[in-house]
Structure 1
Amino acid sequence: MKKIEAVFLDRDGTIGGDNTVHYPEEFELFPYTADEINRLKRDETRIFSFTNQPGISRGLATGKEFEEELIAFGFDDVYICPHDHNEGCICRKPNTGMLTEASKDYDLVLENCVVIGDRWSDMAAASKVGSIKILVRTGAGDSSLIEHFDKLKDIKIDYIANDLKDAISWLYKNYLVCRKA
C-alpha cells in the first residue's frame, strides 16, 4: 500500500465556501472540515493549503490575511498564488509552482502526495507532478466535471468525492497515511 507524505487542499469550494471567493473573515469552513484536518494531523500527516487568490494582486485582501486564516484552520503551511490569471506566473494553478515549491521546502516526493480540490485546474496541476488526484463535488466540482470536461478528459482523476469528508475516508481506505519521521 502506497504511503502518503502530504495532503494539499484547495481553499474555496473544497474546505468551505462555495464556487466563489470569500475573503478572510467572511470565509466559513464546511461543518466537517476541522474534524477532517484534525484527523490527518492526529496521524501526523502534513497538510498544506494551495490556493489561487487573485484578489491579493487586486488589493482586495492581503496574502498575510489568507495565511493567518489558513494556519488558524490547522494547515502546516500555506502556498498562495496572488496573481491574476493573465499575469503569466508559474504558481497559478493549473501550473505547478506551488506544489514544486512545497516539494523543495519539505523534501516531498510529489507522487506520494494527494491533491484535493474542486476545480479542473487543481486536477491539472496534480496530474503534471504525478500526485494522487481527488476532485470534490462541492464548490465548483460538479460544474468542473461538466463545463470543463474537455480539460479533464486526459487527466485520470483517482477519485471523485462528494465532499472533503468522503475524500479523506477514501484516502484512508486506499493508502497508508504516513507518519512524520
Structure 2
Amino acid sequence: MAQGTPPQLRGILFDRDGTLVVDVPMNDDPTRVQPLPTAADAVRRARAAGLFVGVASNQPGIATGELSRDGLDRVNGRIEALLGPFDGWFVCTHAKDAGCLCRKPQPGLVTQAARAWAVAPSELALIGDTAADVGAAANAGALGVLVPNPRTRREEVTAAPTVATTAIEAVERLLAHEPHAAPAVDPVGVHS
C-alpha cells in the first residue's frame, strides 16, 4: 500500500438505536422496532459491496436490570427480520460507569469486530448518531461517520470529522473513499 493511501474498507458497523432503528430506550418489544428511512438501503448497499456488516451497540439496560437479555435478543432478531442478517452483533451490556473497554466511545466493540472478521480495525468504519460512536471508531483506528438526528447535540456535529445526512449517504461516501469530505449539514432539529 502506498504511503498516504487509506486502507481498503472491509466492513461497516452500524450503531443500532438512532442509526438503524428509531431509538426506543430500553426497548424489549420487537413490535416497537421501526427502521429509519435509509437504514435498509444502507445495509443492503454495504452487503452488495461485499463488506462485512455488523451492529455495534451500547445496551447498559442489561447490567441495570431495565432490559432482559431475552428482550434484547428478540429486538435484535426483529431488526434482522426487517434488515437482513448481520455478520456480527457487538454489544456492550455493561453499566455506564463500569469502566469497561467495550462501551462506546471505548474501542472494544470495533476491535471485537476486527478480530471476528480477521481484518484490521483500520479497515472498518462505524456509522452512528453520537460522538460516542465516532469516538469508538477513532479510538480503534477505524473511520467514523456521524449521521445526526434530532437527539444529536450540535457540538457533536461540529466536532465530528465526517458527517452525512443519512445512513445511505454515509455508506456511499465510504465506498467512494470520500470519508473526510463532509458536506454542510442542516442543523435543524440538532440539539444545541
Contact 1:91 1:97 in 2 (8 A): yes
Larger Rg: 2
Deviation at 1:7, TM superposition (A): 0.2
Select the residue among 10, 16, 32 that pairs with 1:11.
Answer: 16
Name the residue aligned to 2:42. 36
TM-score (norm 1): 0.80
Distance 1:35 1:119, change over 3 A: same
Residues 1-181 of structure 1 mapped to structure 2, 5 A cutoff: 2=6, 3-18=8-23, 21=25, 23=27, 24-25=29-30, 26-59=32-65, 60-62=67-69, 63-72=72-81, 73-74=83-84, 75-138=86-149, 140-141=151-152, 143=153, 145-146=154-155, 148=156, 153=159, 157=161, 159-174=162-177
**Structure 2 unaligned spans of 5+:** 179-192
1:35-76 CA-partner distances (Å, limit 9, x unpaired) = 221121122211010000111223323243344234433321
**Structure 1 unaligned spans of 5+:** 176-181
Name the residue aligned to 1:179. none
Quick one: which amino acid aligns to residue 171 of structure 1? L
Quick one: which amino acid aligns to residue 170 of structure 2? A
**What is the DSSP-based 3-state SS (H/G/I as helix, E as strand, rest coil) of the residue aligned with 2:170?**
helix
Quick one: which amino acid aligns to residue 38 of structure 2? Y
Quick one: which amino acid aligns to residue 68 of structure 1? G
1:97-144 CA-partner distances (Å, limit 9, x unpaired) = 111111112111111111111111111111112111110012533x1x
Distance 1:38 1:98, change over 3 A: same
Q: CA RMSD in A?
A: 2.2
Distance (whole Å) between structure 1 residues aligned to residue 111 and residue 168 of structure 2: 26
Contact 2:92 2:102 in 1 (8 A): yes
TM-score (norm 2): 0.76
Distance (whole Å) between structure 2 residues aligned to residue 92 and residue 115 of structure 1: 14
Query: Which structure carries more relative contact order (alpha carbon 8 Å, separation 6+)?
Result: 1
1:123-180 CA-partner distances (Å, limit 9, x unpaired) = 1111112111110012533x1x42x58xx85xx62x20112122122223226xxxxx
Contact 2:26 2:61 in 1 (8 A): no
Moved over 4 A (4+): none
Higher fraction of strand: 1
Quick one: which amino acid aligns to residue 4 of structure 1? L
